[in-house]
Structure formats: C-alpha cells, structure tokens
A = this chain, B = another copy of it.
Amino acid sequence: MQHYFMNQTLTTGQTIQLPTNISHHLGKVLRAEVGDHIELVSLEHQVFEAEVNKLDGSEVDATILKSTQKNVELPLAVTIVSGLSKGNKPEWIVQKATELGVSQVIFLPMNWSVVKWNQKASKKIARLNEVALSAAEQSHRNKVPNVTYLDGLKSLTELNFDTKLVAYEESAKDGEETQLVKAVKRTSAGQSIVAVFGPEGGISEAEIALLKDNGFVLAGLAPRIMRTETAPLYFLSAVSVLTELI
C-alpha cells in the first residue's frame, strides 16, 4: 500500500482532497483506481488507512477508513551527526538512516572533511530532505526525519540531547565495546540520543576534546573499522536491536 505524509489532522470517516503532489503520484504515476487503499499519516504521526473515492483530472479524493494503530518508530529519538563526506554518501546516509528509524540527521563540516558545502548547503539540504521524505514513505514511517546543516561542532554542542556519543575509531581498535550498550540502556523511551560520526579522514583530537568537554562519551561500535557511511547504520541497527528486539 502506498504511504503518504499529510500535514493535517485526519479523522475516520472524513473525505479529503489530497495535495497536488500526492494526487499526481496516485493519479498519473501509479494510475490508481477508485477503491484502491492507501496509507495516510496525520500531522500527529498516526497512520490511517484510506480509500480512493474520486479521480477527477488532477484531483484525487480519499475517505479515511480507520486508524491502523501502526507505530514503527524507534523508542528513542536518534540523531546522527555526520561530518561532511564525499560524493553521494550524504544521500546514501539519509536514505538508509531513514529506513533504519533515524529522527534527525545533522551534517556539518569537520576538521578532516575533504568537502565543504558553504553556499551549496541549503540546496543540498533541500535535496536531502526530499530523500528523507521518499525513504520515509517507502519504509512506512510515522515520521519524516529532519535533515539539517550546522556550521560546525561548536554549534552542535549548543543543542540538548539526553545521551551523547561520538563514534571514535581509536576506541574501537582498543577493544572498547560496551559504552554503546551502556548509553542505549540508560536512555529511556522518548529520550534523545545523538551520535557523531567523522568524515573519511576521521575525527581530530581537538574535536574529540571539544566533544568530551561537552558531555559526549567516546564509544567504539564493533571490532571492525567501518566507513563513514556504514558506521551510522550499524549504530541505528544496534539501537533497534537493543530497544526493539530484546
């Protein structure tokens, strides 16, 4: 079933005209028919099942049948902070992180980032939010992750999170594995957890010092060295396993 995010409150029994982009996708791209069922997510993140009841030119109407009661969100609000990386890695990170339940992705330049975004940042961020929306639709999320850009780690340290980690390669090599588990375990349902991942070149000592001074805990992930675009996915999967499976 197609899954779309609606920026409005929905009520069972209500018939609504779908927004232009959704109407176009259903009517023209998918060639939906009257009677087809779709999922619509309300402003309050509830997933409703609806039935297409009118296809008139570019206008598509749907009737809300029932709330599905589905909640596929992680119990914790997870923020991934990614030091700017090359090529299309940011798109890949946002897409996969969305499938894995991320709440927020923050991109920021770090000391060893080879790339800089500068004036391109707002255009890139707009594109990345489209990637997040598309991935959230396909993963049938209740929420669309937010993708933002900060000008550096200092700005990050001004934000509040209940638990703060930095994925540090050195720690992983030293066999340090349990900070990740401890951090997830001490974060209660509904609380927020942030993890910082360096760019291809890694994280500098000055950046580690700044993060430690601001309450970030160094956490090895697994014994193996993972690339800048893989490590966040391991982390999100770990949060899922530790909070949803066991």
Contacts and interface: CB of A to CB of B under 8 A. Distances in A.
Interface string A140-171: 11000000000000000000000000000000
A96 interface: yes
Band of interface residues on A: 20 to 34
A241 interface: yes
A20 interface: no
* 10 A-B pairs with the lowest CB-CB distances in the bound complex, closest first: A237-B237, A72-B223, A241-B241, A234-B237, A139-B224, A99-B226, A222-B240, A238-B241, A72-B224, A99-B230
Contacts of A99: 224-227, 230
A91 interface: no
A233 interface: yes
Interface in A118-155: 138-141
Given A140-B224, A180-B245, A230 B96 contact: yes
A100 interface: yes
Given A99-B227, A237-B233, A222 B244 contact: yes
B225 A140 contact: yes
Interface of A: 71-72, 96, 99-101, 138-141, 177-178, 180-181, 222-227, 230, 233-234, 237-238, 240-242, 244-246
A222 to B, nearest CB: 5
Contacts of A244: 177, 222-223
Given A237-B233, A245-B177, A101 B222 contact: yes
A139 B245 contact: no
A75 to B, nearest CB: 11
Given A237-B233, A241-B237, A227 B138 contact: yes
21 contacts: A96-B233, A99-B224, A100-B222, A100-B224, A100-B226, A100-B230, A100-B234, A101-B224, A140-B225, A141-B224, A177-B244, A181-B241, A181-B246, A222-B240, A223-B244, A233-B237, A237-B237, A237-B238, A237-B241, A238-B240, A246-B246
